[in-house]
Structure 1
Amino acid sequence: MLKVEGINVYYGHIQALKEVSLEIKQGEIVTLIGANGAGKSTLLKTISGLLKPKKGTVVFEGKNINGKAAQTIVKQGISHVPEGRRIFANMSVEENLELGAYLRKDKKGVKDDFDMVFDLFPRLQERIKQQAGTLSGGEQQMLAMGRALMARPRLLLLDEPSMGLAPLLVKTIFRIIEEINKGGTTILLVEQNAHMALSVANMAYVLETGRVVISGHPDELHSSEQVKMAYLGGH
C-alpha cells in the first residue's frame, strides 16, 4: 500500500533521514520505534507532504506522492495525527471534527462518520459543544484521532498517541487503535511506548539517528537483545 524508498530529508544542512526505506501492506499496523530525535516524526511528515525529501520516493497505492501538497495527499487517502495533537483549541469538539471532513462533499457519508467516531470515542459525543481546549489530554488525543478519521483515510499516520497520558488511558487508546485497524484502516504508528507498540503491530522498524537499523516481525524485535536493551528497559 505504501512504499518509501531511499528517502533523504534535511533540515537546513542537518540530515534528518538517511536512505530510509519501508513498506506497509494493506490492513497492517506497522510501528516505528526509536529514541527522541531519531527521525520518526520527520518520516511521518514526509509521507503526509509536510516535508519534501531531497532524494528518494514515497509511493502510495502505486502513485508517486513525492512533492504533492499535504491537502492533495489527504484527498488521496492518508491522514496524519501529529505529535502534540494540534487540535483547534478555540473551536468546539463538533467544529474540530467537521474540519476533518472539509475536503468531502458526501454529506451522508460525513454524518455516518460522525456516528462512527462517536462509537469509537463516546466521550467526544458527551463533549460535542465543549471548547476543545478545555478537554483533558486523553480527550484531546481522542479528538485528534477522530478528526483524522473524518477524512475517511485508508492509511492513518499516528505520531505518539500515548504521549503524556495516564497508563489506563494508554490502554484505551491502543484498544481503539486496534478497533480502527479492524474496521479496515491501515496504520503507521510512531510510539515511545515500545512494549505497547510491538504488542499491536504486524511489522516493526527501528530508527536510529535517521536510519532504519532493524526491521522485522514484532516477536523478532521483542527477542532482539539490541532492541531489549535500548527500548524495552532490558526486559
Structure 2
Amino acid sequence: MLKIEDINVYYGNIQALKGVTMEINEGEIVTLIGANGAGKSTLLKTISGLLKPKQGKVLFEEGSIGGKAAQSIVKMGISHVPEGRRVFANMTVAENLELGAYLRKDKEGIKKDMEKVYELFPRLLERIKQQAGTLSGGEQQMLAMGRALMAKPRLLLLDEPSMGLAPLLVKQIFNIIQEISEAGTTILLVEQNANLALSIADRAYVVETGRIVLSGNADELTSSEEIKMAYLGGH
C-alpha cells in the first residue's frame, strides 16, 4: 500500500532521514521504534506531505506522493494524527470532528462516520458540546484520532498516541487502535512504549539517527536480545 524508496530528508542543512526504505501492506499495523530524535516523526511528516524529501520516492498505492501538498494526500486516503494532539482548542468536540471531514461531500457518509467515532470513543459523545481545550489529555487524544478518522483514511499515521497519558488510558487507546485496524484501516504507528507497540503490531522497523537499522515481524523483534536491551527495558 505504501512504499518508501531511499528517501533523504533535511531540516535546513541537517539531514534527518538518510536513505530510508520501507513498505506497508494493506491491513497491517506497522510500528516505528527508536529513541527520541531518531527521525520517526520526520518520516510520518514526509508521508503526509508536511515535509518534502530531497531524494527518493514515496509511493501510495503505486502513485507517487513525495512532495505533494498535504491536503491532496489527505484526499488520497492518508490521515496523520500528529504528536501533541493539536486539537482546535476553541471549537467544540463536534466542530473538531466536522473539520476532519472538510474534504468530503457525502453528507450521509459523514453522518455515519460521526456515529462510528462516537461508538469508538463514547467519552467524546458525552463531551460533544464542550470546547476541545477543556478536555483532558486522554480525551484530546481520542478527539485527534476521531478527527483523523472523519477523513475516511485507508492509511492512518499515529505519532505517539500514548504520550503523557495515564496507563489505564493508554491501554484503552491501544485497544481502540486495534479496533480501527480490524475495521480495515492500515496503521503506521510511532510509539515510545516499544513493548506496547510491538504487542499490537504485525511488523516493526527500528530507526536510529535517521536510518532503518533493523526490521522484522513484531514477535521476532520482541524476542531479539538487541531490541530488549535497547528498547524494552532489558527484560
Q: Do both share a fold (TM > 0.5)? A: yes
Give, in angstroms, the shift of residue 219 of structure 1: 1.2
Give the match for residue 152 of structure 1.
Answer: 152
- Are residue 107 (structure 1) and residue 124 (structure 2) matched? no
Mapped to 2, the partners of 1:5 and 1:86 lie a distance apart of 29
SS of 1:130's partner is: coil
**Which stretches of structure 1, 4 residues or more, deviate above 4 A after TM superposition?**
none
Aligned residues: 235
Give the match for residue 168 of structure 1.
Answer: 168
* Letter of the 2:31 counterpart: T
* Letter of the 1:11 counterpart: Y
Mapped to 1, the partners of 2:93 and 2:200 lie a distance apart of 28
SS of 1:140's partner is: helix
Give the match for residue 192 of structure 2.
Answer: 192
* Letter of the 2:78 counterpart: I
Mapped to 1, the partners of 2:128 and 2:111 lie a distance apart of 14
Matches within 5 A, 1:1-235: 1-235=1-235
SS of 1:165's partner is: coil
Mapped to 2, the partners of 1:11 and 1:68 lie a distance apart of 18
CA-to-aligned-CA distance 1:187-216 (integer Å, 9 cap, x gap): 000000000000000010000000000000
* Letter of the 2:181 counterpart: N
SS of 2:151's partner is: coil
Give, in angstroms, the shift of residue 224 of structure 1: 1.3
Mapped to 1, the partners of 2:4 and 2:203 lie a distance apart of 15
CA-to-aligned-CA distance 1:118-145 (integer Å, 9 cap, x gap): 0000000000000000000000000000
Mapped to 2, the partners of 1:116 and 1:57 lie a distance apart of 34
SS of 1:177's partner is: helix
SS of 2:221's partner is: helix
Give, in angstroms, the shift of residue 169 of structure 1: 0.4
Mapped to 2, the partners of 1:90 and 1:233 lie a distance apart of 40
Mapped to 1, the partners of 2:28 and 2:118 lie a distance apart of 24
Mapped to 1, the partners of 2:219 and 2:183 lie a distance apart of 24
Q: TM-score scaled to structure 2, two decimals?
A: 0.99
Mapped to 2, the partners of 1:183 and 1:54 lie a distance apart of 35
Percent identity, aligned pairs only, is: 79
* Letter of the 2:57 counterpart: T
CA-to-aligned-CA distance 1:10-54 (integer Å, 9 cap, x gap): 001100000001100000000001000000000000000000000
Unaligned residue ranges in structure 2 (runs of 5+): none
Mapped to 2, the partners of 1:23 and 1:226 lie a distance apart of 23
Mapped to 2, the partners of 1:219 and 1:234 lie a distance apart of 16
Mapped to 1, the partners of 2:188 and 2:21 lie a distance apart of 14
Give, in angstroms, the shift of residue 225 of structure 1: 1.5
Q: TM-score scaled to structure 1, two decimals?
A: 0.99
SS of 2:74's partner is: helix
* Letter of the 2:170 counterpart: V
SS of 2:128's partner is: coil
